[in-house]
Amino acid sequence: MTSPSSSAFRVGLLGHGTVGSAFHALLEERAEAIAASVGLRPELSGVLTRGRGDFDDIVERSDLVVELMGGLDPAYEHVMRAIRAGRHVVTANKQLLSHHGEELYAAAREHGVQLRFEAAVCGVVPVIRVIHETLAAAHIQRVHGIVNGTTNFILSEMTTTGASYEDALAEAQRLGYAEADPTDDVSGRDAAAKMAILARLAFGAPVHIDHVPYEGIENLSAEDIAYARELGLSLKLVGSAERVDGGIAVRVFPTFLYAQHPLAAVNGSFNAVTIESPAITEITLSGPGAGGPRRPRRCSATWCRR
């Protein structure tokens, strides 16, 4: 087995679609800055796609394996084999973690490697790290949030421009927010997978996606949107995970929110999560939850107007 270089950190990439190729470009662009910050220079050791690369060879030549293929097969087998080979793994695969999280966390512990998955929930919003590390000592009571960018975009478009559900969904697909098959987005299943992952972290108890009841936005009508607007409410797809009667309850459902609610003004493909604990009262994290890099929005705060 090749021994890891002392100055290079070898990264094997599984998957080179929209997310994989964006990661590849960013890794090369930021390699020097990362080296200056952590003392190890990340280098791509190989890329596995359907048409190129050899999995065993890539694992052999990597210190870290990054899984960005999505889906369960062959992602589960690849991630498990990489962990068992003693490689750290980073994955953005919410389906994988919400189905097989327990086996994967146990294998990572057994083999003394890290399994990291910040990008699996809420895009670039660092909610995993905050729940798992920053708030590790807090007794989290409840987590709720907008965790699917596609549905938030659709509901925002229908509300602000009067777009039809079909047109808004087509636009979300064009902008790269939706999954290849958007059924998981609009049915609430994608949000259910993400809430299962957050609940597992927040409460330390196994939560499988099959135990998360969910309802999506397919059956919402223009009348529902108009009704919300008339009453000054926001209609959002909300995921909720909370301690209830000695157990935990996790679910996803469309919800009317009053205008002052921290999630009410989260629009477009943005996501947001509110975490409640007696130790911190509550904090809300928000940011882009779907799609690739984009131009920064023009700042509308008074302090940055020119």
For the bound state, the minimum distance from the C-beta of residue 198 to ligand HSE, rounded and expressed in Å, comes to: 13
Residue with nearest beta carbon to ligand HSE: 150
CB 108, CB 97: distance < 8 Å: no
CB-wise, 20 or 123, nearer to ligand HSE? 123
Strand partners of residue 286: 272
Q: Which of 121, 162, 126, 164 is nearest to 252 (CA)?
A: 121
Site residues for ligand HSE per CB under 6 A: 123, 148-150, 177-179, 185, 190, 289-290
Q: Which of 87, 91, 80, 99 is nearest to 116 (CA)?
A: 91
| Residue among 46 and 188 whose Cβ is closer to ligand HSE | 188
> What's the closest the beta carbon of residue 99 comes to ligand HSE, in angstroms?
16
- CA torsion angle for 19, 22, 26, 28 (degrees, to 10)? 110
Is 194 a residue of the active site? Answer: yes
Q: How far is the CB of 28 from ligand HSE (least distance, A)?
A: 23
- Prior bond of 296 cis (ω within 30°): no
Dist CA 16 CA 46 (whole Å): 11
Q: Length of the chain, please?
A: 306
Annotated active-site residue in 78, 144, 189, 194: 194
Cβ 22 to ligand HSE, closest distance in Å? Answer: 13
Nearer Cβ to ligand HSE, position 12 or 289?
A: 289
Closest CB to ligand HSE among residues 101, 149 = 149
Comparing CB distances to ligand HSE, the nearer of 58 and 237 is: 237
Strand 88-91 relative to strand 115-116, pairing: parallel
CB of 291 to ligand HSE, least distance (A): 8
CA atoms within 13 A on the CB side of 217: 33
> Catalytic residue positions?
194
